[in-house]
Amino acid sequence: MITVLCVEDERDVRELIVEELEEAGIRVLQAENGKEGLDKILTQRPDIVISDITMPEMDGISMLGELQINHPQFANMPFLFLTALADREKMIEGLGAGAESYLTKPIDFDVLMAKINGLVVRIENRVAAGLEF
């Protein structure tokens, strides 16, 4: 079973995302900031991370950078930013930091689930082929 980590500081938004993913049969871990998210990545190794950018303690871009610099074993983990920061420069910054995708709020759950489902297929195909993701 695929595990997704949802890192979102707004409880209501996080709960909506978790509910949607769980209804699709996906196991979901939760974190309310980047520092907690980083700890969950390192200890529980989710398959996919969905993260806000603007959060207390550690923002999403810093969390992704920390993984890439100090924990290269997680460098290929699919990382999706889901944020209210819709301007072009922030999108370029997020994608340039290594994010798989950059989605903006308000959440279009059809698009989010299409992205997640596409990643699940890729992960399952790589696992079936004996490759690491």
Spell out the domains of the chain, with CATH numbers in brackets. Answer: 3-128 (3.40.50.2300)
Neighbours of 56 (CB within 10 A): 10
Residue 132, pLDDT above cutoff 90: no
The pair of three-digit structure tokens given for residue 126, joined into one six-digit string: 């790589």
Q: Is 98 left (phi over 0), alpha (psi -120 to 50) or beta?
A: left
Residue 133: which pLDDT band, with cuts at 50, 70 and 90? low
Determine which of 88-92, 108-112, 129-133 has the lowest per-residue pLDDT on average.
129-133
- Look up tokens 């399952």; give the residue: 124
Please determine, for residue 89, whether its predicted confidence score (pLDDT) is greater than 80.
Answer: yes
Strand runs labelled E in 1-133: 3-7, 27-31, 48-51, 79-83, 101-104
**What is the pLDDT averaged over residues 70-76?**
90
User: pLDDT tens for residues 29-49?
Assistant: 999 999 999 999 999 999 999
